[in-house]
Structure 1
Amino acid sequence: MRVLLANEPRAYRDVISGTLEALRPELEILTAEPGELDAEVLRLSPHFVLCSRVTPVVESRAPVWIELYPDQAPGAVVDLRGEREVLPEMRFEKLLSTVDRARLSFVLPA
């Protein structure tokens, strides 16, 4: 499963990327600058996108996405194949469980 990270700040993106690579080595973890998000979604066709601001391209092309800290608030919006959940806060455990749920929804091997 391809996971594209294009969230701000970059330090968060780097930590999330490194941690996902360590905990879920079977995933293909890719990173991009937020300004390149739409182009990278079109080019890479990721299964899962983590971004700071969801775009129409992300909404229409990514089966699973998380808008992390929208408007610099502490929460997140999680969309798993059209099932949307607004969270008042986002902990890494929730991010990891969403990645795992996404992987299972694609019936991909562990």
Structure 2
Amino acid sequence: MHRFRLDLPADVVGTVLPVLAGLGAAPRSSTLRGASYLVEGEVPAGRVHALEQRLPGLTRGEGALEAEFDHYRPVRGPAPSRPRWDHDPLHRKEYLLAVARRVTGRPAR
């Protein structure tokens, strides 16, 4: 989880808060500072980039985001996975054939 500080114009707070919720962020506090709001909270590390990408459009380019690692949290739901893109060394015969092809440059049979 990352801790974030988001400084944004006061008139877009109603637009930004639902987006934060959709990204799994949990705002902890919001403070009115003149014509802007300071929103602080936490957001999953995997969603920080999406927030950075959406922020300029949501705030007319006037929002400023600071985010830093804060703590680990157990994954909720199914754990993220990524399929293997190379040969699986647990399948020894296929793996050794693939390694041999890379070393010798011979095409597969």
Same fold? TM cut 0.5: no
**Higher relative contact order (Cα pairs below 8 Å, separated by 6+ residues):** 2
Q: TM-score, normalised by structure 2?
A: 0.30
Structure with more helix by fraction: 1
Q: TM-score, normalised by structure 1?
A: 0.30
